[in-house]
Amino acid sequence: MLAHAVAVAAVKSGGKSIFLDSSNNYSPRIARALCKSSAFPERVLKRITVGQVMSLRDLEDFAKQVADLTDVTVVVLDSLTGVLNLTGAPGSKGRQRKLFAALDVLRNFVNTNHVHLLMTDHSTKKRSTGKPSPIGGNIVIHGVDSLVRVDRLDVMANAVRLLVERSPVSPPPGGVVVRISANGIKSIAAR
């Protein structure tokens, strides 16, 4: 839902979005529901380019193919874990090198075209410290500017906590608890 909300918000603000889907995550139904406030939801949806990426090679190839697109505001990769699943053995040096190369191609695209990149990923807890670590390890940890942790909360249906763990903004923004559904993202703060 968060990935869809970012892609739709970028389009509603006048830009274009690229949604790189590593499985069957993209849903036109969800995107359409998020366009309810728009007078022309179909026009909004046409400004979202969806690409299927099943491996790091696909990710690199797609980034090269869209290098000439104009008015792109955001690239959403949902999810990096899905891309890594079909790329090689977890933790292998070869896969880590491929991941670094693919992220470098994306970084060049982002910097050249002045767009934002949102990657969703999963994390595991390190056995030694119990701290969460994103799938992709040090390549991902050191290759991103901002890291936002999303945790489901069992106390309320569709409730998640968004916590900024790392950001170039100083001081980093605090966390927030929201409800995420097909109708969008709503704050649960009292008004």
Q: What is the pLDDT of residues 128-149, one digit of tens each?
A: 887 777 777 777 777 777 878 8
What are the CA-CA distances from residue 7 to residues 25, 63, 86, 149, 167 (Å)? 13, 17, 25, 19, 21
* Helix and strand element counts for the chain (H, E): 7, 10
Nearest to 84 by CA among 103, 111, 108, 107: 103
Q: Kindly list the structural domains of the chain, giving each domain's residue range(s) and its CATH number in brackets, ordered by start.
A: 2-144 (3.40.50.300), 146-191 (no CATH)
Neighbours of 51 (CB within 10 A): 18
Report the predicted TM-score, pTM, of the whole model to 2 decimal places: 0.81
Per the CB < 8 A criterion, the answer to whether 180 and 1 are in contact is: yes
Per the CB < 8 A criterion, the answer to whether 37 and 61 are in contact is: no
pLDDT digits (tens, 9 = 90+) for 143-167: 777 878 888 888 888 899 888 888 8
Return d(Cα 14, Cα 3) in angstroms, integer: 18
pLDDT digits (tens, 9 = 90+) for 65-100: 877 777 889 999 988 888 887 677 777 888 888 888
Return d(Cα 57, Cα 105) in angstroms, integer: 11
